[in-house]
Amino acid sequence: MIYREAGQFKTTYAADQAIFPILQDRVLVTLGLVAAFLLPPLLASEYWLQAVLIPFMIYALAALGLNLLTGYAGQLSLGTGGFMAVGAYAAYKIATSFPGLNILLVFALAGLVSAGVGLLFGIPSLRIKGFYLAVATLAAQFFLIWLFNKVAWFVNYAPSGTITAPPRTVFGVMVTGPLATAPVRYVVVLGVAVLLALVAKNLVRGRVGRSWMAIRDRDIAAEIIGIRPLPTKLLAFAISSFYCGVAGAEFVFLYLGSAETTAFDITLSFLVLFMVIIGGLGSILGSFLGAAFIVLVPIFLTNAPHLLHLSLPVALQKQIELMVFGALIIFFLIVEPHGLARLWQISKEKLRLWPFPH
């Protein structure tokens, strides 16, 4: 009943092809967006913004990028951390070389650099498939991290080897650097994520996305119906790396403040892959749901013993966290292998009729 679309007639092609064809969806999404932009900066505490909402949005963006590559184009990649590192270091180099440049433009340029690198590492994908490709992308991960560690030029010869976000303003408001407040950074992160999610949604329902899905479902068949595999796969790598690169730049500039290469190691790649799988392969919404899950579960697990008035030794708690995290992943895969996005879809179907039986 809540999702009843009876009486909503589509009289134009534009209405038929809208992203949210149902009125309830449009209202819900608009309200949700307004709430997301207004409520947290006004109400949420510094802790919630810094520890939950900002990383959530950044991870969601990275997951979105990986989802385009793995979920839509079917190319399994374990190099996400490496591509995020490219974005972060490129943003640092650009921002420090051209101090006058708008920081948002810097993020976009860093994304482009990352896209170029992604393109390069996507070349083997034409010959190598499946798990062989996944392991091959690990080469990108390890090589890139090693490169940023070894070549001092990337960190402007800083002896500590860390990159630090320089203070920059947009329209007179401090956005990056130590003086930037959490609400401002949150709004920037959210804005970028929403904008890029919109772009991604339109990409995947257009010609590009359809050719990706054709390649994913059966690449030889796709080739026969006239999709050129190399440009299609490379485009997927480039766009995916663009998203990951922007996410990586934000990761340092808007979340961590300063970082070393260890922030981008293989665990980050796996974390983002988890988000994509738990959220749902081939779903834009899934990337956000998965990111929320992976950000919130560890926080919940850390705080759960406090809520239960248990005091555990730190090491033991860490180990239990690992165990529960692992078990939860397996549990979710067993219960719903298509991810949280599928659960949402099922509940929407249910809501069409609820509370009536037919």
Partner 1 sequence: MIDLLAALVAPFREIAGAPTFFVEVLLGGIFAGLLYSLVALGFVLIFKASGVFNFAQGVMVLFAALTLVGLMERGAPVMLALVLTMAVMVALAFAIEKLVLRPLVNQEYIILFMATIGLNFFLEGFGEMVWGANVKRLDVGIPDRSFMLKGVQINQLELTAAITAAVLVTVLAVFFQRTRIGRALRAVADDHEAALSIGIPLKTIWVVVWSVSGLVALVAGVMWGAKSGVQFSLSLIALKALPVLILGGFTSVPGAIAGGLIIGVGEKVAEVYWGPLVGGAIENWFAYVLALGFLLIRPQGLFGEKIIERV
Q: How far is the CB of 150 from partner 1 (least distance, A)?
A: 5
Among 66, 90, 235, 281, binds partner 1 (CB under 8 A): 281
Spell 133-167 as b/e; 16+ CB within 10 A means b. Answer: bbebbbebbeebbeebeeeeebbeeeeeebbbbee
Mask for 149-178, x = binds partner 1 (CB under 8 A): xx----------------------------
CA–CA gap between residue 261 and residue 89 (Å, rounded) = 9
Which tokens sit at 306?
A: 């406090």
> DSSP letter string over 198-259?
HHHHHHHTSHHHHHHHHHHH-HHHHHHTT--HHHHHHHHHHHHHHHHHHHHHHIIIIIISEE
Task: State both tokens at 189.
Answer: 């992160």
Paired with 168 in beta bridges are 176
Q: How far is the CB of 183 from partner 1 (least distance, A)?
A: 34
**Of the candidates 104, 142, 229, 305, which one interacts with partner 1 according to CB under 8 A?**
142
* Contact mark string toward partner 1, 313..342, x via CB under 8 A: --xx-xxxxxxxxxxxxx--xx--x-----
Count, residues near partner 1 per rule CB under 8 A: 46
Identified binder of partner 1 from the candidate list 20, 98, 270, 300, rule CB under 8 A: 270
Binder among 51, 266, 285, 297 for partner 1 (CB under 8 A): 266
For residues 28 and 139, which CB has a smaller minimum distance to partner 1 in the complex?
139
- CA torsion sign for 172, 176, 178, 180 is positive
Residue 1 or 322 having the CB closest to partner 1: 322
Q: Is 312 in the site for partner 1 (CB under 8 A)?
A: no
One of 138, 194, 297, 351 touching partner 1 (CB under 8 A): 138
Per-residue binding string, partner 1, 216-245, x by CB under 8 A, is --x-xx--x---------------------
> CB-wise, 12 or 311, nearer to partner 1?
311
d(CA 290, CA 286): 6
Q: 34: alpha, beta or left, given left = phi > 0 and alpha = psi -120 to 50?
A: alpha
Q: 260 vs 150, 164, 264, 300, 310, CA distance in Å?
A: 12, 9, 8, 27, 35
Q: Which is nearer to partner 1, 253 or 274 (CB)?
A: 274
Q: Is 346 in the site for partner 1 (CB under 8 A)?
A: no
Residues 105-134 that bind partner 1 (CB under 8 A): 124, 127-132
Q: Which is nearer to partner 1, 75 or 164 (CB)?
A: 75
State yes or no: residue 273 binds partner 1 (CB under 8 A): yes
Q: Which stretch binds partner 1 (CB under 8 A): 31-39, 58-66, 98-106, 141-149?
A: 141-149
Residue 20 tokens read as 């949210």
297 interacts with partner 1 by CB under 8 A: no
- HSE-CB at 180 with a 13 A cutoff on CA atoms is 28
| End-to-end Cα, the chain, rounded Å | 10
- CB distance 342 to 280 below 8 Å: yes
What residues from 58 to 97 belong to the interface with partner 1 (CB under 8 A)? 70, 76
- Residues engaged in binding partner 1 (CB under 8 A): 70, 76, 124, 127-132, 135-136, 138-139, 142-143, 146, 149-150, 218, 220-221, 224, 266, 270, 273-274, 277, 281, 315-316, 318-330, 333-334, 337
